Amino acid sequence: MNFKIAVLAGDGIGPEISVQGVNVMAAVCRKFGHTVEFRDALVGAAAIDAVGNPFPDETYDTCRNADAVLFSAVGDPKFDNDPTAKVRPEQGLLAMRKKLGLFANIRPVETFDCLIHKSPLRPELVKGADFICIRELTGGMYFGEKVEGDDRAYDTNAYTRVEIERILRVAYEYAMRRPRHHLTVVDKANVLASSRLWRKIAQEMAPQYPEVTTDFMYVDNAAMRMIQEPTFFDVMVTENTFGDILTDEGSVLTGSMGLLPSASTGESTPVFEPIHGSWPQAKGLDIANPLAQILSVAMLFEYFNLLDEGALVRRAVVASLDANVRTPEIQVAGGRRYGTKEVGEWIVNYIENCK
């Protein structure tokens, strides 16, 4: 396959982990006979500093003309600490999702046996946890009508039938592909009108997928259940705001946010990215974990049905963990402190030399 990949490194640790994802993808493509062309583009604070726009038209054109986007992170303290700022790095991420029609965010939550001890939960609770959170990404409060004043503010949590049906269809399709065929629809239908529409439509669609067991759970209960019994879940689907919170909660089960990738798909070019933020405090220190970025490359290959390529990336990541080639936040006590670059180079070397 001939790949055209837009690379949006962004802010903070983004450039450091981005290059590791690019190097891993290039190594896999060489091994399997694919060609790949990478094209860099600005986003977030870096784009604001350069052109005053967190998602410039040039970046949009680069993404739209690519087969996929490898995105890293946006965010900068100088904007976080200025509540009066009219333009913010995160607006670039929202604009990218909206302009590319990326309505489905796919976040797998999978534990690694060698890192069970890093989870804040007891090992017997978290061991074997393996589920997918599917978050609606372009509707709800993040994109609804907003009013912000000195004495009153509100965000509108609006959803249409079309928006709900299309994300539920994605969720059912994922549930159909998994061995357990289990879908949990997360809402707050006892309080919110928008959630009642979600539940109504899900109940209408469930008979179209008789192989899938569909259940419903209020978001507060789901948040507790993820901590009490994470192995209950197989595929979870929910609206934008709930999904943002629950997926970050799910990431903690693994022991580090630096381990989990994601994909955003929809009407146009798909985007593959780590779930973590820009961690500006670690910028330039060579301590950021690149594994979520690298696992996003695995998801990219799998999206194009290149399963062997994706499996090789995953195998290389597991091998690096088993060999204790790890960045500081997941290293075993007394283990060597590997930097971002060293971890990426080790994985590339594994890919190049494996049979």
Neighbours of 349 (CB within 10 A): 13
To the query of whether residue 142 is one of the catalytic residues in this protein, the response is yes
To the query of whether residue 188 is one of the catalytic residues in this protein, the response is yes
Q: What pLDDT was estimated at residue 80? A: 77
Sorted by where each begins, the domain ranges of the chain are: 1-103+266-355, 108-255
The CATH label, of 3.65.10.10, 3.40.30.10, 3.40.718.10, 3.40.50.150, for the domain at 108-255 is 3.40.718.10
Residue 185, pLDDT > 80, answer yes
Catalytic residue among 60, 142, 172, 209: 142
Catalytic residue among 40, 130, 248, 286: 248
Q: Which residues of 253-292 are buried (b: 16+ CB within 10 A; e: fewer)?
A: bbbbbbbbbbbbbbeebbbbbbbbbbbbebbeeebbbbbb
pLDDT in tens, 105-158: 999 998 888 888 888 889 899 999 999 999 999 999 988 999 989 899 999 999
Residue 314, pLDDT > 90, answer yes
To the query of whether residue 244 is one of the catalytic residues in this protein, the response is yes
Mean pLDDT (the chain, rounded): 94
Calpha distance 323→292 (Å, rounded)? 18
108-255 shares the fold of 1-103+266-355: yes
Phi, psi (deg, nearest 5) at residue 208: -70, -15
Mean pLDDT (whole number) for 248-275: 91
- Name, in order, each residue with C-beta under 8 angstroms of 104's C-beta and a sequence gap of 6 or more: 134, 135, 136, 137, 166, 167, 170, 264, 265, 266
Residue 176 is inside which H or E element, if any?
helix 161-177
Type of residue numbered 38: F
- For 142-146, 312-316, 344-348, which range has the lowest pLDDT when averaged over its residues? 142-146
Type of residue numbered 72: S
pTM: 0.90
Would you state the structure tokens that stand for residue 104, as one six-digit string? 């489905």
Q: What pLDDT was estimated at residue 85? A: 78
Residue 306, pLDDT > 90, answer yes
Give, in order, the Cα–Cα distances in Å from 232 to each of 27, 125, 126, 156. Answer: 37, 10, 11, 32
Residue 279, pLDDT > 90, answer yes
* CATH code, 1-103+266-355: 3.40.718.10
Catalytic residue among 80, 220, 308, 322: 220
To the query of whether residue 220 is one of the catalytic residues in this protein, the response is yes
